[in-house]
Structure 1
Amino acid sequence: MQVLRYREGAYHEEEISVESISSRTSFNEDYDVTWIRVTGLGDTALLEQLGEKFHIHMLALEGIVNTMQRPKFEDYGAYFFVVLKSIHSWEQEENIPISQVSMLVGEKIVITFEEKEEFFFHAVWERVVSNKGLIRKKKADFLAYSLVDAIVDSYFSVLEKLGEELEQLEERLIYDPDKEAIHAIHRMKRQMLQLRRALWPLREVIGNMERGVTSLIHSTTTVYLRDVYDHVIDMLDVIENYREMLSGMLDIYLSSVSNRMNEIMKVLTVISTIFIPLTFITSLYGMNFIFMPELKYQWAYPAVLGVMLLISLAMILFFWRKKWL
């Protein structure tokens, strides 16, 4: 557990243990904002100590531990509780690794509970330490906004990678459709569904924060939250566009397979059609009649072969003029 306390002109950071929580009278001391960052949810003793120290509601503690729930916003008066989903370092695996981040925000304190260490929170931490931007001049609600904004920004890189993969997949479907392409389409459709499940309720969460449902968020911060809300809406639109593109790609794949099958059937049909008259000629001389005068001619056999060749060439020429070949 890491603690970062700051005001406009100073900051202090430290790591504290479970045993030291109950003995501390205050976390704020001479600072305006305190950020307590808890990484990992396996230490139940730590969560219980924090729950007792900061009077965290039992339902909120259950929400922190339960990582299978959807993003949500709950107002408990003295603080509000937010559950968010973040993407934890995705490198185009089968499933997008989505982890949970829970956040308790009070008047002067922000407590974050990370299922896995969220590296994009390091950038926010560094901004506080280096005193970049407005973050040291603002209150705890602005820190909460900065953390939410960092989580939302983590989706942009994933959508960019998915967009590049979609372009490559589209070219592949046009020039060389195969079974792996259809597997890639279904995999990306599952990934889009994962992103949509994470982002759709996030829109409602940020909307509640932006509309001033709680008095802990000041009007000067709602302007920034409105910008994050717009980003979420834009990403949802991108996801819907990608899903439509994937559905169209599935149709392209089926059309390509059908066209390839049609080409194969066309060639086979042409070959079969050419051999129909040839088969007729050969079967004619397979009949057991005694009186077939051409059988006695010296050049009858080469003549029949020549006739068969002329028939084949004439049929090929006819198919070509009809543009069937």
Structure 2
Amino acid sequence: MARFLRKNDRKAGMPPGSLIFTGQQKISKPQIRVTTYNDSSLTDIDMDEYKSITNDTDSICWINIDGVHDSDLIKNIGDNFNISIMNLEDIQDTGQRPCIDEYQDYLFATMKFLNTDNDEDRIKADQISFVLGNNYLITFQEQPSMIFDPVRKRLSKPKNKFRQNGPDYLFYTLIDCLLENYLKVIEGIGERIEEIEEEVLENPIPEQLEEINFYRREIAYIRKSIRPAREIISKTNKMDSEFISDNTAPYLKDLVSMLEQALDSLEIYKEILSDLFSTYNMSINSRLNETMKFLTVFATIFIPLTFLAGIYGMNFDVIPELHYKYSYYILLGLMLLIAFAMLAYFKRKKWI
């Protein structure tokens, strides 16, 4: 499956707002987890099937859906929370470009979660969608992950910031987890790139060129996945939204520096890989030049020797010194003398 651009053939000819899942189904059955909390209490339950949820204004409800391939489930949730059919379509379109938009009843956003394919050591991006309301937050993930486990752990502790703030603070912390994950993924790739850099300088081999090209593709894929996040964070900070409180707004501004750090690191590693590609080619060319230099010197020395051998190897009956007793030894000595004289000359000219 294409990583940078995927054609939605399944949606060809369908009217706008058609709920059709586009992507790779990663779990057999969607998993629903509902966490309701306030300053003094917390309930956390797993639901076998979705039922209409009504939440009182005194509690915050976090609904997490793992698996977005079930169109009926997505539609039921949309009807329950009055989510636009166009946003529901975006939730099921896993190739959707990350974005954020504000509507009358909620704030809608999509971002990418990066993880590593253990079989191929490639970076994969799963889509995560957010629907933020006045007293609820709904998250849609392609498959279960542990990326939000630290948030759940902090949420389980009574009398902390989570319990004292609204769903917008929860929204901020989840995005913070995604950005932390970006830095973690980039750090892991960066360590290997720096190792390759040392290896190329010490002993360049063809396998390193394959790795350089591999990580160039991975860096490009990561940039495609997280670069739109800059627009999301910037737009969130600029919008005067009723769903983002004045208490949470300063925290969202702090996300800008974290995202810029991730993007700066990507640019640095992109440049390192480009330099490594050039360094590898220069090293290989240098080796080739040394080899050609040796062969040229070797061939040049043997040109006069071959000339002498060719003359005395001709089949004429009368050749001077042909029957002389010491002709063979004289010719060998002359050849050695010519060879050493040429080596000395090359050495003096600093050609070798």
What are the within-5 Å matches in structure 2 for residues 65-80 of structure 1?
65-80=92-107
Corresponding residue number in structure 2 for 1:238: 265
Corresponding residue number in structure 1 for 2:253: 226
Measure the CA separation in 2 of the matches of 1:148 and 1:57: 22
Measure the CA separation in 2 of the matches of 1:247 and 1:133: 47
Q: Secondary structure at the match of 2:100?
A: strand
Corresponding residue number in structure 2 for 1:167: 194
Q: When the two structures are superposed, what TM-score results if normalisation uses the length of structure 2?
A: 0.87
What are the within-5 Å matches in structure 2 for residues 27-46 of structure 1?
28-29=55-56, 31-46=58-73
Q: Is 1:13 matched with 2:40?
A: no
Q: Secondary structure at the match of 2:87?
A: helix
Q: Secondary structure at the match of 2:143?
A: coil
Deviation at 1:319, TM superposition (A): 2.0
Q: Secondary structure at the match of 1:81?
A: strand
Corresponding residue number in structure 2 for 1:259: 286
Deviation at 1:180, TM superposition (A): 1.4
Runs of at least 5 residues in structure 1 that lack an aligned partner in the other structure? none
Q: Secondary structure at the match of 2:210?
A: helix
Q: Secondary structure at the match of 2:123?
A: coil
What are the within-5 Å matches in structure 2 for residues 142-291 of structure 1?
142-291=169-318
1:228-282 C-alpha deviation (Å, 9 max, x unpaired):
1211111111111111111111110110111111011011101100101101111
Measure the CA separation in 2 of the matches of 1:90 and 1:103: 24
More helix by share: 1
Measure the CA separation in 1 of the matches of 2:166 and 2:287: 64
Measure the CA separation in 1 of the matches of 2:230 and 2:119: 25
Q: Is the 8 A contact 1:70 1:201 kept in 2?
A: yes
Deviation at 1:313, TM superposition (A): 1.7
Measure the CA separation in 2 of the matches of 1:77 and 1:229: 26
Q: Structure 1 residues 131 and 187, CA, compared in 2 at 3 Å: closer, same or farther? A: farther
Q: Is the 8 A contact 1:88 1:118 kept in 2?
A: no
Deviation at 1:92, TM superposition (A): 8.9
Q: Is the 8 A contact 1:212 1:222 kept in 2?
A: no
**Counterpart residue type for residue 107 of structure 2:** F
Q: Is the 8 A contact 2:168 2:243 kept in 1?
A: yes
Q: Structure 1 residues 208 and 131, CA, compared in 2 at 3 Å: closer, same or farther? A: farther
Measure the CA separation in 1 of the matches of 2:202 and 2:65: 50
Measure the CA separation in 2 of the matches of 1:44 and 1:131: 36
Identity %: 35
Q: When the two structures are superposed, what TM-score results if normalisation uses the length of structure 1?
A: 0.94
Q: Structure 1 residues 237 and 132, CA, compared in 2 at 3 Å: closer, same or farther? A: farther
1:95-124 C-alpha deviation (Å, 9 max, x unpaired):
301100000000110000011112111111
Q: Is the 8 A contact 1:211 1:222 kept in 2?
A: no
Measure the CA separation in 2 of the matches of 1:204 and 1:238: 18
